[in-house]
Structure 1
Amino acid sequence: MSPLDYNQKLIRFLQQELDIPAESIALVERHPELPYSSFPMLLWRYGLITIAQLERIFDWLDNGFSNSARDF
């Protein structure tokens, strides 16, 4: 899977399944020097998601992006 596919799927999951506002995602995307794998941790660190949401993201990632019925 290309990094672009990973990014698109992660953002889709964040917006559709966790209702993370686009503004929150954009705030974290302003740090291009950081690896995209740090994205969920940065959302949590900035207080943009709860620890429960962070755990859902990690579960989704661990399960190969397949926890969402709306994945493509």
Structure 2
Amino acid sequence: MIANCQSDVKFIDFLQNELELSSGDIAVALRKRELENGPLPMLLWQYGLVDIEQLERIFDWLEEQA
């Protein structure tokens, strides 16, 4: 299962539409999250799927959603 709740769906939409990440990149990070139980934004950065500026945009977006 790709997304386990509505907030994941919104977050994945943001990653695809705003940061233009591929479904494959997102799927890799989601698999890593299941294995390592880490926060998805940090996993995206750790595995080189987003740069530091994109990571900041992710945190800004997440803060706006809270």
More contact order relative to length (CA 8 Å, sep ≥ 6):
1
Aligned length: 61
> Larger Cα Rg: Structure 1 or Structure 2?
1
TM-score (norm 2): 0.83
- Identity among equivalent pairs (%): 46
Unaligned 5+ runs, structure 2: none
Tell me the SS of whatever aligns to 2:5.
helix
Q: Name segments (4+ residues, structure 1) moved above 4 Å.
A: none
Q: Which residue matches 1:42?
A: 43
RMSD: 1.5
Q: Which runs of 5+ in 1 are unaligned?
A: 66-72
- Normalization by structure 1: what TM-score? 0.77
